[in-house]
Structure 1
Amino acid sequence: MVTRIIQVKNVAAAQLVPILRPLIPQQGHLAAYPTTNVLIISDRRQNVDRLLKIISQIDKVSDNSVEVITLQHASAAEVVRILTSLQGNQAKGGATPIKMVADERTNSLLLTGGRTARLRARVVIEHLDTPFENEGNAQVIYLRYANAKDMVSVLTGVSDSIDQNRKAGTPKAKKTSVNIQADESSNALIISAPPDIFRSLQGIIKKLDIRRAQVLVEAIIAEVSFDKTKDLGVQWIVDGSPSGNTAPVGIINLGTPKISDIAGAAAAGVLPSIPSGTLIGLGKFTRSGVDFAMLIRALESDSSSNILSTPSILTLDNQEAEIVVAKNVPFLTGQYASTGASSTSVNPFQTIQRQDVGLTLRVTPQINEGNAIQLSIEQEVSSIDPTTSAGTTDIVTNKRTIKTVVMVEDSHTIVLGGLIDEQLQQVDERVPLLGDIPGVGVLFRARNTIKVKRNLMVFLRPIIVRDAATHASVTSDKYNYFRAQQMDLRQRGVNLMPDQEAPVLPDRFNALPYPFGDQDSDSAQ
Structure 2
Amino acid sequence: MKTTDVLLTLLLATASAKGKVNAVTLTVDEVPVAQVLQTLAALDGRNIVIGPEVDGVLSLQLTNIPWMQALQTVLSSAGLTMTSQGAVLFIHSHAWQEAKQSRLETEQEKRRQTLPLRGQSIALRYADAGELAKAGEKLLSSRGAMTVDKRTNRLLVRDDERHLSDIQTWAAEMDKPVGQVELAAHIVTMNEKSLRELGVKWTLADADSPPGRGKFTTLSSDLSVTDATSRAGFNIGRINGRLLEFELSALEQQQQLEIIASPRLLASHLQPASIKQGSEIPYQVSSGDSGATSVEFKEAVLGMEVTPTVLDDRRVRLKLRISENMPGQVLQQADGEVLAIDKQEIETQVEVKSGETLALGGIFSQKNKSARDGVPLLGDIPWLGQLFRHDGKDHERRELVVFITPRIISVQ
Does TM, scored on the shorter chain, surpass 0.5? no
Larger Rg: 1
TM-score range, shorter chain: 0.3 to 0.5
Larger RCO (CA within 8 A; separation ≥ 6): 2
Q: With the length of structure 2 as denominator, give the TM-score of the two structures.
A: 0.44
Higher strand share: 2
